[in-house]
Amino acid sequence: MIIPAKNKPVLPLTISVKEIESIVEWFDQHQQSLYILGWSYLGNQLKIEELFYRAILQVYKELPKFKKSTSFELRVLSIFIRICRELSIENSVIASEERVFNALQQLKEQEREVLILKYIKGISREETAQLLQLSSEQIKEFLISGFQLLRKGLGNGDDYQGCYEYQKLYVNYLERKLERPRKIDFEMHIYNCHNCQDDLASLQETILNFSETIETFSVPADFMENVKDRVSQRENSIKLKKKKSKRIGFISASVFVLFLGTGFFTGIFQKIYYSLTEENQELRIFLQEDLGERLGLEAESNGVNIKIKSVIADEIQTLIFYEIEDTNDNNQYMINIDDGIFIEDEMKIMVANTYPMYIPPDMESDLNKKEKNIYHGKLSLRPLKENEATIQLNINKVMKLKRNSSDSFVNMEPEEGKWNFDIPVTKNPSIEYALNEEVEIEGIAVLIDKLILAPTGTILQYGLKNEQPEKRIEMINFKNLEINNKVAEADLYGNSYVHAQNDLRWSKFQAHFKPLFEKETDEVKVRFDNVYLSIVDNKTIALNASKEYPQTFDYAGSTISIDKVETGQSAIVVFSNHEINNRAYESLHYNIVTEEGDDSSMEMDHKGIIVDKNGKEYDMKKITPRIYEEMEQPRHFFTVQSTKIQGKKVTPKSLEIYGYSTTKYLDDEVELDTELIVKEEAGT
């Protein structure tokens, strides 16, 4: 496979490479993101040409001083930003025709820099903090305030007011950096707080608008040529041609190696070959179906060797199979998508309004029990925009897996290093069927909208029409799909919201199922498992800290105890119900009203248990992915819910309950009318 010219990997620059041409080529490869960074300071093409010229010469001058412990990109960005600031002192920024850039130029310098470095250059928070000499917490604060001010600058920021304590979590949630218990609490709050829903959606729309503007922003056609001409006049042309010749030879050698590593096996021989040579059963099936190829890319750091075995890409995700070997000791390591990895130009080559699939660590598989120092894993990334690309995957941290002997829970400890890969990827097509079948669940209309057959999974898209004010469906869990007499089990971690809503009558979601490797179907059966509901049932209970607690009240057929009410700078309200047999609700939707009004911030916490359909109870904080996967139709019961209210002096006045969440088990099956299925091809 020959990589298209626009997707050829950037040549690695090391401290030993001193020819200025390599530096110019690096700037050429990164010209769009650097141009946008320069534009946010200067707003003038001639000034930005001067910026590029000075930066290239300064990098060339300082290159011998670069340390191996600091990445080349960070050192270049440090120089680039320094010159940006110097030039901006002498410069009046020209108003841009693009509203986003006008709004961006109104931000404080550090807010603007953090947004651009994080969302345009795609570097991690830790690296951004190192580059700007700020703390990680300051980076998070600048991200939040930057996007809020950007939203306001675009004219839509004043109408959205989410809860203060949850606003602080928006960026971490959108970047998948919330710990699992906090993520569950956040999502439950979002489901039931319309202010936060609107606030988060508006902020996310601003981020997407920002990303889309950046993606469509074009660098003037002659810009980089002008910069190169200025550099060429300063350098010896013969030396530049010689360097270019070496570079072309390097690329040719890389392509030749890529050809050698490509399998030319098809049909029956291909299936037999991979059945004998590939020990990972899941990857073996993909290879036998000719959906990917072996790569064998390797990188080693601190005795930890990472091998990228293969990549399977489609419209759903980009699935990377890897193997990590500890060459010094008997440890197993995995790659955590939420910590320690970043992708060069991620928003440029991947679909922005999607999120990678959650893949928990698997230490119980036969393959990972085989050797104590080798871990076989997979990593889900966003789907590609184009059919072919090269993913520049940079890893600076892996997670050491440690089993807790008391309950088999897997703990993870970070291990730092440096593993960089240029991964060539070809996206496989998927096939879509329009279904348009409307059914009713718990008296609420549900649209079975679309079926997507893709190599890495099967997706059922459905829509919810929540028109009843007293009851709404928050989520549907499916048991399985049956296609061509083959059953696809549901993926427990695969429910997702569809960001592009083309029919405002329905809120669209996608349920993910295991892959079936089917390309055509004339029959589809959908089997439901359970439905998660929000019920509106208002009740107000007066609170008085001078009274003696606990006190009880009746709600939704249960007796609930108010255990504690305290006033002060940290006022506390705690209520509980440990009786779960035949309990109507799983968690309450509520608010604590204070005599001081809404100026105080609130922190909410909870304790609870998980109960499966057979009545077996599990501690909510001790559930492992393995245990959760084996449970039958689990329900999450909150036994204690508590709220801490911060302020100068806070007096809780009342507990206002808006309603509750509950799960209803289903045993329904829908056989779709095959005459309603219209075949459409996607990703081709």
Query: For position 460, what pLDDT does the model report?
Result: 92
d(CA 519, CA 454): 8
d(CA 176, CA 382): 13
What's the length of the chain?
684
Residue 550, preceding peptide bond in cis (omega within 30° of 0): yes
Query: For position 100, what pLDDT does the model report?
Result: 66
How far from 141 is each of 104, 172, 178, 651, CA to CA, in Å? 16, 11, 15, 29
- DSSP E strands in 612-650: the ranges are 617-619, 635-650
* pLDDT over 50 at 248, yes or no: no
What is the residue type of 273?
Answer: Y
Question: What number is the average pLDDT over the span 411-422?
Answer: 90
Query: For position 109, what pLDDT does the model report?
Result: 78
Query: For position 545, what pLDDT does the model report?
Result: 87
Average pLDDT, the chain: 80
How far from 21 is each of 64, 221, 230, 247, 594, CA to CA, in Å? 15, 20, 12, 10, 66
Radius of gyration of the chain (CA): 28
How far from 657 is each of 187, 298, 540, 592, CA to CA, in Å? 18, 56, 6, 9
Query: Which letter, b or e, does each residue of 180-200 get, where b requires 16 or more Cβ atoms within 10 Å of its Cβ?
Result: eeeeebbebbbbbbeebeebb
10-14, 20-24, 32-36, 141-145 — which is least confidently predicted?
A: 10-14
Neighbouring C-alpha atoms within 13 Å toward the C-beta of 438 = 7
Question: What number is the average pLDDT over the span 189-200?
Answer: 81
d(CA 683, CA 251): 29
Query: For position 237, what pLDDT does the model report?
Result: 45
d(CA 640, CA 431): 47
* pLDDT over 60 at 285, yes or no: yes
CATH architecture label of 430-533+668-682: Sandwich (2.60)
The burial of 458, by beta-carbon neighbours within 10 Å (0-12 exposed, 13-18 middle, 19 or more buried), is given as buried
Structure tokens at 111: 């807010």
Q: Using the structure block, give the residue that is written with the tokens 């930066």.
A: 55
d(CA 110, CA 112): 5
Question: What number is the average pLDDT over the span 373-395?
Answer: 94
Three-class DSSP category at 478: strand
Query: For position 407, what pLDDT does the model report?
Result: 44
d(CA 520, CA 288): 19
Q: Which residues contact 233 (CB under 8 A, 6 or more apart)?
A: none
Give the residue, 14 or 35, on which the prediction is more confident: 35
Phi, psi of 174 (to 5 degrees): -65, -25
Query: For position 347, what pLDDT does the model report?
Result: 86
How far from 30 is each of 9, 27, 383, CA to CA, in Å? 12, 5, 22
Q: Write down the CATH number for the domain with range 267-426.
A: 2.60.40.1630
- pTM of the complete model: 0.58
Query: For position 274, what pLDDT does the model report?
Result: 53
Q: Using the structure block, give the residue that is written with the tokens 């993910």.
A: 512
111-125, 144-158, 247-261, 288-302 — which is least confidently predicted?
A: 247-261
d(CA 37, CA 492): 41
**Tens-place pLDDT, residues 597-626:** 755 677 888 889 999 888 888 877 677 666
Q: What angle do CA 250, 256, 261 make, to 5 degrees?
A: 130
Three-class DSSP category at 641: strand
Res. 9 pLDDT band, cuts 50 70 90: very low
Three-class DSSP category at 114: helix
d(CA 335, CA 340): 8
Structure tokens at 395: 């890893």
294-308, 400-414, 633-647 — which is least confidently predicted?
A: 400-414
* pLDDT over 90 at 304, yes or no: yes
Query: For position 97, what pLDDT does the model report?
Result: 46
Ramachandran region, residue 340 (left: φ > 0; alpha: ψ -120 to 50; beta: rest): left
Q: Which residues pair with 471 in a beta bridge?
A: 535
Are 682 and 429 in contact, with CB atoms under 8 Å apart? yes
Q: Which residues pair with 438 in a beta bridge?
A: 447
Give the residue, 369 or 123, on which the prediction is more confident: 369
d(CA 4, CA 507): 39
Are 640 and 608 in contact, with CB atoms under 8 Å apart? yes
Percent of all residues in the chain with a pLDDT value above 70, rounded to a whole number:
81
Three-class DSSP category at 487: strand
Q: What angle do CA 499, 523, 455 make, to 5 degrees?
A: 50
**Tens-place pLDDT, residues 504-547:** 788 888 999 999 888 888 888 999 999 999 999 999 999 998 89
Domain edges within the chain: 8-162+198-223, 267-426, 430-533+668-682, 536-660
Chain centre to alpha carbon of residue 277: 33
Question: What number is the average pLDDT over the span 560-588?
Answer: 92
Query: For position 538, what pLDDT does the model report?
Result: 94
Res. 15 pLDDT band, cuts 50 70 90: very low
Structure tokens at 92: 């009046």
Chain centre to alpha carbon of residue 108: 27
Give the residue from 323, 293, 561 showing the smallest Cα distance to 428.
Answer: 293
Res. 375 pLDDT band, cuts 50 70 90: very high
d(CA 380, CA 414): 19
Question: What number is the average pLDDT over the span 652-663?
Answer: 93
Ramachandran region, residue 512 (left: φ > 0; alpha: ψ -120 to 50; beta: rest): beta
Quick check: do 267-426 and 430-533+668-682 share a fold? yes
Query: For position 86, what pLDDT does the model report?
Result: 80
* pLDDT over 70 at 388, yes or no: yes
Give the residue, 544 or 102, on which the prediction is more confident: 544
Res. 630 pLDDT band, cuts 50 70 90: confident
Query: For position 626, what pLDDT does the model report?
Result: 66
Query: For position 365, what pLDDT does the model report?
Result: 86
Structure tokens at 210: 């920002």
Give the residue from 478, 476, 484 showing the smallest Cα distance to 453.
Answer: 484
Give the residue from 516, 492, 373 showing the smallest Cα distance to 431.
Answer: 516
Query: For position 162, what pLDDT does the model report?
Result: 77
Q: Say which DSSP state 286 is in.
A: H
Are 573 and 655 in contact, with CB atoms under 8 Å apart? yes
Three-class DSSP category at 482: strand
* pLDDT over 90 at 244, yes or no: no
Res. 21 pLDDT band, cuts 50 70 90: confident
Query: For position 311, what pLDDT does the model report?
Result: 96
d(CA 594, CA 669): 48
Query: For position 254, what pLDDT does the model report?
Result: 47
Ramachandran region, residue 484 (left: φ > 0; alpha: ψ -120 to 50; beta: rest): left
108-112, 321-325, 418-422 — which is least confidently predicted?
A: 108-112
176-180, 429-433, 475-479 — which is least confidently predicted?
A: 176-180
Query: For position 13, what pLDDT does the model report?
Result: 42
Are 161 and 196 in contact, with CB atoms under 8 Å apart? no
Three-class DSSP category at 253: helix
**Tens-place pLDDT, residues 33-86:** 888 888 878 877 888 888 898 889 888 888 877 766 567 888 888 888 888 888
Chain centre to alpha carbon of residue 168: 17
Query: For position 600, what pLDDT does the model report?
Result: 62
d(CA 419, CA 395): 5
* pLDDT over 60 at 436, yes or no: yes
H or E element that contains 403: strand 388-403
Three-class DSSP category at 346: helix
* pLDDT over 50 at 405, yes or no: no
